[in-house]
Chains A and B, each alone.
Chain A
Amino acid sequence: MNEFLAMGGYGWYVWMAYGACALAILAEALALRSRRRRALETALASGDAVSSGDRR
């Protein structure tokens, strides 16, 4: 296991690259979820409005 993590001496470079990718995808997924929730909450709070929606 340790040998695997060491990556033949390149562990720092390999895991910094992979770690950033994992972190970025996770962060994007969480940001998307909260953005969608926020959008739905605001839409609900503003009530069911009347007109066809070309407004924001």
Chain B
Amino acid sequence: MANSWYRYASPASFHPVALRLAPVFALAAAILAIAGLYVGFVVAPTDATQGEAYRIIYVHVPTAWMAMFVYLVMAFWSALALGFNTRLSAMMAQALAPTGAIMAALALWTGAFWGRPTWGTYWAWDARMTSTLILLFLYFGVMALRGAIDDPRRADRACAILTLVGAVNVPIIYFSVRWWNTLHQGASVSLTAAPTMAKTMLAGMLLMTFAAWAWCIAAALWRVCAIVVERERGASWLAPDPALKGVT
């Protein structure tokens, strides 16, 4: 029934579900990360040209993908929040911003420590790196904008608009290595062509990507729970919540 969809659009009914799901995703992230690190460090061979330095790929690519993907998910929730004026969608967008910022920062950081041994520099004003830096600033901007507006519902709308405008940056990051001559290499994995890397390397990278994905979901769910409690406090539904009893 259409009605059951709306049920979980309410913070009151979503909160217990999110609270139960978050540890499941966190556990999945831990298991996937252990498997990914095992495949990446033990099973996968040393790269012929880059030696052991290439092993940074197992954290660099997942964090870079997640930095972009989390932004797209944030834009999706922002669009819903603007279109349907639903509180929970805006809370989801709010919950995703810090996790996305962490992923963007890690992508830049791990990229710097990969760039130094392979290209000879920690940083260059290359199109992909610059657009990823802008992505990090967009996350900061969305968080700062929310902090600057006292009324949460106004902040929801302002942040949603900024997020949607900033979404134009994501395809720029993705296609930057095709549109411009960049120091950064082109895509090594795509949906349309066979991967150009060894199977075990690819397996390790995908495991780590799913681990990062699961962690982003877990972190966003935990954060949205905190946000629901922060913003809905005073609401009567919170009072009998068993979660309130377990506070220490």
Q: Pick the most buried of A4, A18, A50: most chain B CB atoms within 10 A of its CB.
A: A18
Contacts of B247 in A (CB 8 A): 37, 40-41, 44
Q: How many residues of B contact A (CB 8 A)?
A: 47
Say yes or no: A18-B59 contact (C-beta < 8 A), given A7-B52, A28-B219, A50-B236: yes
- Chain B 233-248 interface mask (CB, 8 Å, partner A; 1/0): 1111111000110011
Quick check: is A2 within 8 A (CB to CB) of the other chain?
Answer: no
Contacts of B113 in A (CB 8 A): 13-14, 16-17
Give chain A nearest CB distance to B132 CB in angstroms: 15
Say yes or no: A13-B235 contact (C-beta < 8 A), given A28-B98, A32-B226, A40-B229: no
- Specify the main secondary structure of chain B where it touches its partner: helix
A32 close to B219 (CB less than 8 A): yes
Contacts of B116 in A (CB 8 A): 13
Contacts of B56 in A (CB 8 A): 13-14, 17-18
Contacts of A49 in B (CB 8 A): 233-236
Say yes or no: A35-B236 contact (C-beta < 8 A), given A20-B110, A21-B59, A41-B247: no
Quick check: is B117 within 8 A (CB to CB) of the other chain?
Answer: yes
Contacts of A37 in B (CB 8 A): 247-248
- CB contacts under 8 Å to B, within A1-56, are 4, 7-10, 13-14, 16-18, 20-21, 24-25, 28-29, 32-33, 35-37, 39-44, 46, 48-56
Cβ-neighbour of A44 out of B55, B106, B244 (below 8 A): B244
B51 close to A17 (CB less than 8 A): no
Say yes or no: A52-B59 contact (C-beta < 8 A), given A7-B52, A40-B244: no
Which of B's residues lie within 8 Å of A, judged by CB?
26, 41, 46, 51-53, 55-56, 59-60, 63, 87, 98-99, 102, 105-106, 109-110, 113-114, 116-117, 152-153, 215, 219, 222-223, 225-227, 229-239, 243-244, 247-248
Which of A's residues lie within 8 Å of B, judged by CB?
4, 7-10, 13-14, 16-18, 20-21, 24-25, 28-29, 32-33, 35-37, 39-44, 46, 48-56
**9 extra interface residue pairs, beta carbon distance < 8 Å, beyond A17-B59, A51-B234:** A8-B51, A17-B60, A20-B110, A21-B110, A24-B106, A32-B226, A39-B227, A43-B238, A50-B236
The 8 A-B residue pairs with the shortest CB-CB distance in the complex, in nearest-first order? A53-B235, A49-B234, A48-B239, A43-B233, A8-B52, A10-B53, A39-B229, A53-B232
